[in-house]
Amino acid sequence: MSNKIIDILLMVVAGIIVIGLTVATEQQEQEIEEGTDITENVVHEYEYGIIVDSLVIHKDKIKRNQFLADILQNFHVDYARIDLMARKSKKVFDVRKMRTGNSYCVISTNDSLNDVLFFVYEISPADYVVYDFRDTINIYTDRKEIKKVIATENGIIETSLWNAMVDNGKDPNLANELSDIFAWTIEFFDIREGDRYKVIYEKLYVDDQYIGIGKVITAVFNHFDHDYYAFHFMQDTLGDYFDDKGESMRRAFLKAPLRYKRISSRYSYSRLHPILKIRRPHLGVDYAAAKGTPVMSVGDGVVTFVGWNGQGGRVIKVRHNGTYSTTYMHLSSYGKGIKKGVYVKQGQVIGFVGRSGLATGPHLDFRFYRNGRPLDPLKVKSPPVRPVDSIFLDDFIAFRDSLILILDTIQ
């Protein structure tokens, strides 16, 4: 065979080998790629952000008089390790604050040893603390995903907003939210039968379990045939509630300093005193309430007097600014840390209802002053706090109008 033919045969064989190697390489690469895809598409099982494939999971709730050591020793964790865990935990979560009824989870290996790898305690339905026992003990907190669902409610008042919620099978905490939002504009202890409300708000869920009320987006409360609106609007990355005119729902003063049963005596220049049986001025409002009912400061200010004041009994006086001041009389006791010179915030508990001094029963005698002169607290018109900024006003109007359209559709 000539050398030329041999060279041609060698070239053909070499080509076949190269082609074979190329095909094999491509097949191998394809297999690797396919293998990678399979790995990436593996669905892992998670608990509290931890991959628990092939691990043993034990879930339970803290029982009465049960402590951390009681739980972990049942899983053969030695006391020295538990003690180390508790000491390291103080900066993250104090294990002494574990509460009866809260859930916990123990995650261990699925073998004859059943070594505990993780202990998880649920601080709340959403928040939890993880104790990682692998190597050195690592402790951290995390939060479950909270799902927000937009909901609407509406109703007609027969006795109270709270009862309206309960009677309709709704979360009564929504009544608290509305009371807080409208605290400066509506006297919720003086609402009447036939008052109506509509509200759009968030319901919060964790693991498909309802955990409570989220943000109230908007609400309208019809009180004495007048519609009071509230809109939660964001400006400068901060959210607050505003009325339909863009004025803040917050005011310089609360409408009332406590949750009372009734008004037992109003502002008057000639009131028959129930004990002395003589007519004399009563320049305040008496709120009848159970002994021990918390009394709140109606506005920010500085305490100017705390102590016994004759017929007024235990008294607190607060100066809110250079113009306004308030007085709280017949208290049974004072709030924690309340003394002369202390700065108090609006809504802060400063004392508790009593019948000290000259009083026929437990009540709060509340007085309001402007430049030292008494005013009828029920007629004080409190100025609003910062309104919607002019640069956001067009956005607010569009936001307001869209929500009013939705509120109008709620029957």
SS3 30: helix
pTM above 0.85, yes or no: no
Residue pLDDT, tens place only, 342-396: 999 998 999 999 999 888 889 999 999 988 888 888 888 777 778 999 999 999 9
Predicted local distance difference test score (pLDDT) of residue 6: 43
More confident residue, 25 or 120: 120
More confident residue, 26 or 403: 403
Predicted local distance difference test score (pLDDT) of residue 279: 63
Q: What value does the mean pLDDT take over residues 225-253?
A: 90
Predicted local distance difference test score (pLDDT) of residue 61: 95
Tokens 């799902």 sit at which residue? 147
Q: How far apart are CA 296 and CA 315, in angstroms?
A: 13
Q: What separation in angstroms does the CA of 387 have from each of 233, 241, 251, 290, 325?
A: 11, 9, 11, 37, 24
Residue pLDDT, tens place only, 259-287: 776 787 777 655 555 655 556 577 888 89
Average pLDDT across the chain, whole number: 85
| Proportion of the chain above pLDDT 70, given as a percent | 85
Q: What value does the mean pLDDT take over residues 102-115?
A: 93
Tokens 């000491």 sit at which residue? 87
Tokens 């700065």 sit at which residue? 343
Residue pLDDT, tens place only, 148-170: 999 999 999 888 888 888 888 88
| CA dihedral of 248, 254, 258, 260, whole degrees rounded to 10 | -90
Tokens 């709280």 sit at which residue? 328
Residue pLDDT, tens place only, 137-148: 999 999 999 999
Whether 305 contacts 318, CB under 8 Å: no
What's the burial of 203, exposed, middle or buried (CB within 10 Å: 0-12/13-18/19+)?
middle
Of the candidates 375, 193, 218, the one whose C-alpha atom is nearest the C-alpha of residue 284 is: 375
Question: Residue 190 pLDDT more than 70?
Answer: no
Question: Residue 5 pLDDT more than 80?
Answer: no
How sure is the predictor about 8, in pLDDT bands with cuts at 50, 70 and 90? very low
Predicted local distance difference test score (pLDDT) of residue 13: 43
Q: How many CB atoms lie within 10 A of CB 364?
A: 26
Predicted local distance difference test score (pLDDT) of residue 277: 58
How sure is the predictor about 341, in pLDDT bands with cuts at 50, 70 and 90? very high
86's enclosing H/E stretch is: helix 79-89
- Name 185's Cβ contacts closer than 8 Å, sequence gap at least 6: 228, 243, 249, 251, 255
How sure is the predictor about 193, in pLDDT bands with cuts at 50, 70 and 90? confident
Whether 370 contacts 324, CB under 8 Å: yes
Whether 154 contacts 186, CB under 8 Å: no
Tokens of residue 403, six digits: 């929500």
Whether 314 contacts 356, CB under 8 Å: yes
Q: Which region holds residue 246: left if phi is over 0, alpha if psi is between -120 and 50, else beta?
A: left
Q: What is the DSSP letter of 354?
A: B
Lowest mean pLDDT among 95-104, 169-178, 372-381: 372-381
CB burial string 130-159: b at 16+ within 10 A, e below: bbbbeeeeebeeeebeebeeebebbbebee
Whether 247 contacts 240, CB under 8 Å: no
Q: How far apart are CA 325 and CA 317, in angstroms?
A: 7
Residue pLDDT, tens place only, 17-74: 444 545 444 554 554 455 555 455 678 899 999 999 889 999 999 999 999 999 999 9
Tokens of residue 228, six digits: 């009071």
Q: What are the structural domains of the chain?
A: 46-143 (3.10.450.350), 147-242 (3.10.450.350), 262-379 (2.70.70.10)
Of the candidates 317, 275, 265, 322, the one whose C-alpha atom is nearest the C-alpha of residue 295 is: 317
Q: What value does the mean pLDDT take over residues 83-94?
A: 91
